[in-house]
Chains A and B, each alone.
With several copies, the nearest count.
Chain A
Amino acid sequence: MAEITYLEAIRQGIWEEMERDSKVFCLGEDIGVYGGAFKITKGMLERFGEERIVDTPIAESAIVGAAIGASFAGMRPVAEMQFSDFITCAFDQIVNFAAKTRYRWNAPAPLVVRAPSGGGIHGGPYHSQNPEAWFVRTPGLKVVEPATAYDAKGLIKSAIRDNDPVIFFEHKKLYRAIKGEVPEGDYTVPLGKARLHREGKHIAVITYGAMVHVAAEAAEVLDREGVSLEILDLRTLLPLDEEAILASVKKCSRVLVFHEDTLTGGVGGEISARISEKAFEWLDAPVVRLAAPDTPVPFSPPLEEAFLPNAAKVIEKARWLAGY
């Protein structure tokens, strides 16, 4: 098994799906000759041709709209947003067309919208956002964000094969920073299932995406203090794996809900509310949330650093929880 990057894992996943099923095709800006802004589709134009690697005009709404229309005609479109920050330009198509079409008139829209998200790359307000909460609020969508290379490949394959619209967030910071053993052939990771990233005893950290690794960094430090973190990597944010969440909560009785997105209205609120509602008696301390502060993502390094959650902030919250 080869060690490959998170980026390469996604690329492999899409590639294999395109080999497997001629109905799968990609569309987006600069994904052809250029191979995509992040090179996810590198080499695909040569292999699959212009009709399956479709370079589009700058028109996110049309990209998603066309994906929906193609899916009606039996295709399996994988639409790329160049940055997840531009997904707002396709918002109506996603939340009103794609999300509701199965429910309304039994017309499934099996498509994937891929969206590179997240900060830490000095991208400023429009190349750093984590927009997942908007979609988690929208029944009919599935929302996925892998944290590891293995999951990235397995989840993109499941997303492509899924019969509902999937918004697939890829954390830009992980693209080249994270490597892992990834089988070359076919395997899938199921949507809707969380993964225990690290077993622990005292505090359940419920998180996803890049923050899984930040939590793990904190866990190493806290271990030395005798505080043992359990880290649950949600992987799918809609539908949430409530069973796995409650299992970790009931085991640890102290919970930190943790994401890179801003606090208010973030996915953390939903998770916290479910925990309160369904595991109230198991809680030995308040469910604590850690997230970015409620501001746009600033550009300048000292500001961005202060903005992003990090291991030190996890440690601070965990210590507080442990001492409660």
Chain B
Amino acid sequence: MAAMKPVGPVLVQGATAPSENEGDLSLKQEEIARRGHYFMALQREVEDRIERKLYRQGKILGGVYVGRGQEAICVGAGLVSEQEDWLYPCHRDLGLYLVRGVTPREIFAQYMGRVGGLTRGREGNMHMGDLKRRIVAIISAMAASVPVATGTAMALKFQRSRNIVFNIFGDGATSRGDWHEGLNLASVQKAPVVFICNNNQYAYSTPLEKQMACEHVADRAVGYGMPGEIVDGNDVMAVYRAVKRAADRARAGEGPSLVECKTFRMTGHSAHDGGDYVPDHLWTEWGEKCPIVRIERVMLERGWTTREELEQVHARIKREADEAIEWAENSPYPDASTLTEDVYEGSR
């Protein structure tokens, strides 16, 4: 037997401060920070409104899942993506929609089941997509998007497109068969897709050690012969860099990668879950790592912004949210007569 050289995971330490030597990045450091900050803050505000206001007011029915504390992951990945790349977000990745240009108006309307939402009321909460904007909606079954994202990537490769696919999922999702089948097919096909795991250490109430017996999600990359990278998921700059490397690889025809972003879910599983099963010290520990506060600190330290400017950003976002909610509340409910439309092409 020949000796074995396992491929990956390649370890990268998350760094709060970006290193100097990154001239090859397509966005300038400052711009990444600025845009990253804006979209993270916007996601936070929109989700706070949804979870802490509209849901409690009974204006949003059904399940509500937010990405509080882990916004750096979807936003960092989103900033890497080009406008024609395909996005496969999961249920805590609102920032990915925002980066792509989906508006808070559309999002509030979606949550409230109005026609102004992305799904005209057919779907709720984060089950939203838009083919024109190349955002594919999840179905509820965790990891079902993984083979689907792979298929889109295979098509892009066949079409000799420079575009690639970004697929985000949780740590718990990696237990599912579809996850395995998808990563395996992608790696055999060298499909141009970046798999991004937001490892927030819980799947609903289930902690990581009941979900998997390996230490890192990235360990699993070995079994697919693809690079696995671990990154600090609360550092938007670090996420950007790691995803950028994986994206460059995909665009260069070198196939998929798995980027594991370590983070924490600063909320219960959904709006109706207080997360009582989470030990207190985790809330405290991770509360201090808030990705928004962290990037603000970096921006201030580096002189990229001022306190006043940051306050203006937050104020603008609040106004945006107010205005968007008003718009969404004025968006009508779908008419019951549309119920049976579009089960098939042209059906009514």
Instruction: Verify that A and B bind, or say they do not.
Output: yes
Say yes or no for B63: interface residue by CB 8 A criterion. yes
A-B CB contact pairs (8 Å), 24 listed: A29-B204, A30-B206, A33-B205, A58-B143, A58-B173, A65-B178, A66-B185, A70-B151, A70-B152, A73-B159, A77-B151, A92-B144, A96-B139, A101-B137, A104-B122, A106-B131, A124-B62, A125-B127, A125-B139, A127-B140, A163-B345, A299-B127, A303-B113, A307-B339
Contacts between chains A and B (CB distance < 8 A), count: 258
Main secondary structure of the interface of B (DSSP, over half): loop
Cα(A51)–Cα(B158), bound, Å:
7
A92 to B344, CA, bound (A): 19
Question: In the assembled complex, which residues on chain B have CB atoms less than 8 Å from the CB atom of A102?
Answer: 342-345
B176 close to chain A: CB less than 8 A: yes
| B123 close to A127 (CB less than 8 A) | no
- Shortest distance between the CB of A63 and any CB in chain B (Å): 8
Q: Which one of B1-9, B21-29, B33-41, B329-337 contacts A?
A: B329-337
- Cα distance A25–B159 in the bound complex, in angstroms: 12
10 closest Cβ pairs, A-B complex = A69-B151, A65-B147, A300-B121, A66-B151, A300-B113, A126-B140, A57-B175, A34-B205, A62-B181, A73-B155
CB < 8 Å neighbour of A300 from B181, B210, B334: B334
Does A221 have its Cβ within 8 Å of any Cβ on chain B? no
Which residues of A are found within 8 Å of B188, using beta-carbon distances?
56-57
Residue contact A302 to B334, C-beta cutoff 8 Å: yes
Confirm or deny: B103 has a beta carbon within 8 angstroms of a beta carbon on chain A. no
Are B178 and A299 closer than 8 Å at their CB atoms? no
- B contact set with A: CB distance below 8 Å: 61-63, 86, 113-114, 118-125, 127-131, 136-137, 139-144, 146-159, 172-173, 175-178, 181-182, 184-185, 188-189, 203-206, 210-212, 277, 333-336, 338-340, 342-345
> For B136, what are the chain A residues with a Cβ–Cβ distance below 8 Å?
69, 72, 107
Interface of A with B (CB < 8 Å)? 25, 29-30, 32-34, 37, 51-52, 54-59, 61-75, 77, 83, 85-86, 88-89, 92-93, 96-97, 100-108, 121-127, 139-140, 142, 162-164, 239, 293-296, 298-303, 305-307
Q: Which residue on B lies nearest to A77, using beta carbons?
A: B151
Residues of the B chain whose Cβ atoms lie less than 8 Å from the Cβ of A126: 127, 139-141
